[in-house]
Structure 1
Amino acid sequence: MKKVLVLNGPNLNLLGIREPGVYGETTLVEINRMMEKLGRQFGLELEFFQSNHEGSLIDRIHQAYGRCQAIIINPGALTHYSFALRDALKAVNLPVVEVHLTNIHAREHFRQLSVIADVAAGTICGFGPESYMLAVQAVAALLAKEENQ
């Protein structure tokens, strides 16, 4: 099985109770379960990690090198300003899919910029928890494409 690191940044541990009108009522634990089930269908083993600390996320990215074949990341607010997170993702040279529950391009001006986007194979946003399922499918397709090259 191919291993995929799934990272979630600040405040995503509060999904389900944090602004449910914006982020929905589904918890991160529920999203992880759905992703795990879907991942198995694609032959993927998902490893989940959430942190409110930028350095902890960067450490996990570094640890993924040589151990994981891809990364799915919802950087939360770090999306908009963490060049350190961006540089870590670029450094490990793994396929990255950026994911967001909301459509960041239709939100406040400061949320519309992603410093992660240019090191990601793609960004999926605006579909609520389904964004994560689409990210699993995207990673499976990226890894299958790499395997066939």
Structure 2
Amino acid sequence: MSALSKRNPELFGLIRSLDDLNRTVDEFAAKIGVRVRHFTSNIEGEILDYVHKTANEVDAFLINPAGLTQFGMATRDALMEPGRPYLEVHFANLARWFHSTGTYDDSSIFSFGATGVMEGLRHHGYLGGLLALTLALDDTAFLGAGAPPVPPGDA
């Protein structure tokens, strides 16, 4: 994620920095009336600490596992433990990305526990994912009666 400006724009789009992505997400979140917390790290332990620290404070997680996509079992487990929905999002279509790098195993260990997966839609996947999570949190027929209630303005 920290290398957005160096990525292939055909696959990753025109977002040139994490700040640009966060600003785009914040603008969209304001339009749909939700609050978003941003957290980014290249260190899995820091991601684990963040997930554990905030699990009871947020209604859902939206994560781009990036370099952890195939190896971040601890992060995936931390996201599954609190029973909050999480959505996995990737700028690129994983099958296309891994094929272009000569890696033919395009599986993600995060998909198994995710409520949903958005990939290949560049930064639009974050916006679609945020909207989908917001709607899903309000849909007890989808997430079940045990889903945490969504306070007005939170997602």
- Total equivalences in the alignment: 138
Residue 128 (str. 1) matches residue 122 (str. 2): yes
2:3 pairs with 14, 17, 37, which one? Answer: 14
| 1:110–1:58 CA distance, 2 compared to 1 (3 A) | farther
TM-score by length of 2: 0.81
Cα RMSD after superposing both structures: 1.9
Q: Percent same amino acid at aligned positions? A: 28
How far is the alpha carbon of 1:136 from its aligned partner? 0.9
TM-score by length of 1: 0.84
How far is the alpha carbon of 1:125 from its aligned partner? 0.2
Structure exhibiting the larger radius of gyration computed from Cα positions: 2
- C-alpha distance in 2 between matches for 1:20 and 1:53: 25
1:31-42 → structure 2 map (5 Å cutoff): 31-42=21-32
Residue 101 (str. 1) matches residue 106 (str. 2): no
Structure 1 gaps of 5+ residues are: 1-11
The structure carrying a bigger helix percent of its residues is 1
Question: Any conservation in 1 of the 2:11–2:122 contact (CA below 8 Å)?
Answer: no
Question: Any conservation in 1 of the 2:11–2:120 contact (CA below 8 Å)?
Answer: no
| 1:21–1:41 CA distance, 2 compared to 1 (3 A) | closer
Q: Which amino acid aligns with 1:100?
A: H
Moved over 6 A (4+): none
Partner of 1:24: 13
CA deviation profile, 1:93-146 (whole Å, cap 9, x unmatched): 111010000000223245611100011110000011111111111111111114
Structure 2 gaps of 5+ residues are: 146-155
- C-alpha distance in 2 between matches for 1:111 and 1:78: 14
